[in-house]
Amino acid sequence: MKRMLSGIKPSGQLTLGNYIGALRNFVKYQDDYELFVFVANLHCITVPQDPAQLKKNLKDCIAIYLACGLDPEKCTLFLQSDVLEHAQLGWIIDCNTYLGELNRQTQFKDKKAKGETNLTAGLYTYPCLMAADILMYDADYVPVGADQKQHVELARDVAERFNNRLGDTFVVPEPVVAEVGAKIMSLSDPTKKMSKSENDDKGCIILLEDIAITRKKIMSAVTDSLAYVRFDPENQPGISNLLTIHSAISGESIDSIVARYEGKGYGEFKKEVAEVVCTEIQKLQDEYKRVIESGIIEKVLEDGANKAQRIARKKLNKVQRKLGLDIFRK
Ligand code: TYM
């Protein structure tokens, strides 16, 4: 069975973008792959976090994994910092990544270009930690949204370089980016990615927010004055984004939705999108409550960390041996 791994960084609350671009796909894959999904908490602290809020976001993230249908019997769910090997391999990857490669990573470049100050060294090197997360487990595939593809490609480059230099050590991973929904856009500015970190309350649907608020955000999503429902991301980014959201959740093709709305107005269309989204999120929230009340999270994380750590330890030993770091281990 091929191995697959992915993670989410809950530096804020999880969004509909996380759900469509990542989470939902993880659930589909758990029957066909040996799946590892983790909470990327070490990545959260690349920007300052309020400790109490972070703790809540981490617990919510794992609860949402379970609520979405990730089954600990079928996949390994764990908290990144429970497996200390991640930070150690992260350092080793730091030492095997060129500054030029990090300078080309768009996420850091964008933040710097926006003039954000007090950017940390961790934020700059976090693609190395992400490469460590992936390479540690010999993941064949890494399902991610479009914005993370570049980071998986860096992991590939690092793995290939390391293998060439010191012999077969890492599996070279492949990013898996869904055809529909790999980049859900903001509802208030559909030329920008829907993101929890952009201070974009109206444009970003939070999975655990009040459903009435979600409905309102969709009904007031920015569209255009062309007045026909058509998939044309360049000229009608708002409508195209809503079509993508609908199709990703309902499974109906974009063409079929467009055909049903011929000659009809945006109001009616938005109502249907809101219904599709709210029904899905309501189900998720009901499950989330059940998971939180069940008290199973601690045990799930304990089992997941044990399983993940066994693999991580072995890989780290191998890497350290190859590098000549160990004196007596053969
Ligand atoms: P993060 O937490 O920013 O996002 C988690 C996943 O959600 C996807 N995503 C989106 N997809 C579609 N539309 C959107 N608007 C949207 N917003 C987010 C992301 O592409 C991602 O797949 N560095 C990673 C976390 C990470 C990781 C890893 C992922 C750490 N180590 C190893 C995979 C493998 C991150 O910050 O994702």
DSSP H or E run through 292: helix 266-294
The model's confidence at residue 113, banded by pLDDT at 50, 70 and 90, is: confident
Q: What is the residue with the minimal CA distance to atom 14 of ligand 1?
A: 17
Q: With a cut of 70, say whether residue 201 has pLDDT above it.
A: yes
226 Cα to the center of ligand 1, angstroms: 33
Largest Cα span, the chain: 75
Q: What is the pLDDT of residues 256-280, one digit of tens each?
A: 999 999 999 999 999 999 999 999 9
Residues of each domain in the chain carrying CATH 3.40.50.620: 3-177+296-323
CATH of 201-290, one of 1.10.240.10, 3.30.1330.10, 3.30.9.60, 3.40.50.300: 1.10.240.10
Mode of pairing for the β-strands spanning 75-79 and 3-8: unpaired
Whether the per-residue pLDDT at 198 is higher than 70: the answer is no
With 80 as the cut, is the pLDDT of residue 330 above it?
A: no
**Is the whole-model pTM more than 0.85?**
yes
Vertex 223 angle, CA 278 and 262, to 5°: 80
pLDDT at 200 exceeding the cut of 80: no
- 3 state DSSP class of 206: strand
Mean pLDDT of 293-309: 97
Q: How far is the CA of 275 from the centre of ligand 1 (A)?
A: 26
Q: How confident is the model at residue 110 (pLDDT cuts 50, 70, 90)?
A: confident
Q: Residue 23: what residue type? A: L
- How many secondary structure helices (H) and strands (E) does the chain include? 14, 5
State residue 71's pLDDT score.
98
Q: Which H helix or E strand runs over 75?
A: strand 75-79
Ligand 1 geometric centre to CA of 143 (Å)? 9
Q: How would CATH label the architecture of 3-177+296-323? A: 3-Layer(aba) Sandwich (3.40)
How far, in Å, CA of 205 to CA of 18, rounded?
Answer: 10
Please state, in angstroms and rounded to a whole number, the distance separating the CA atoms of residues 195 and 184: 9
Q: Residue 115 has what pLDDT?
A: 87
Tell me which of 9, 149, 206 to substitute to probe ligand 1's pocket, judged by most ligand atoms within 8 Å of the beta carbon: 9
CA 119 – CA 112 distance, rounded (Å): 8
The label of the residue with tokens 């530096």 reads 11
- Per residue in 67-89, pLDDT (tens digit) is 999 999 999 999 999 999 999 99
Task: Tell which wins on pLDDT, 121 or 109.
Answer: 121
Which residue bears the tokens 């860096």? 154
User: Which residues have any ligand 1 atom within 6 Å of their CB?
Assistant: 5-9, 17-18, 20-22, 40, 43, 130, 133-134, 142, 144-145, 147-148, 182-184, 193-195
Q: Tens of pLDDT along 10-39? A: 999 999 999 999 999 999 999 999 999 999
Locate CATH 1.10.240.10 in the chain: 201-290
pLDDT at 239 over 90: yes
Q: Which active-site residues does the annotation give?
A: 111, 193, 196
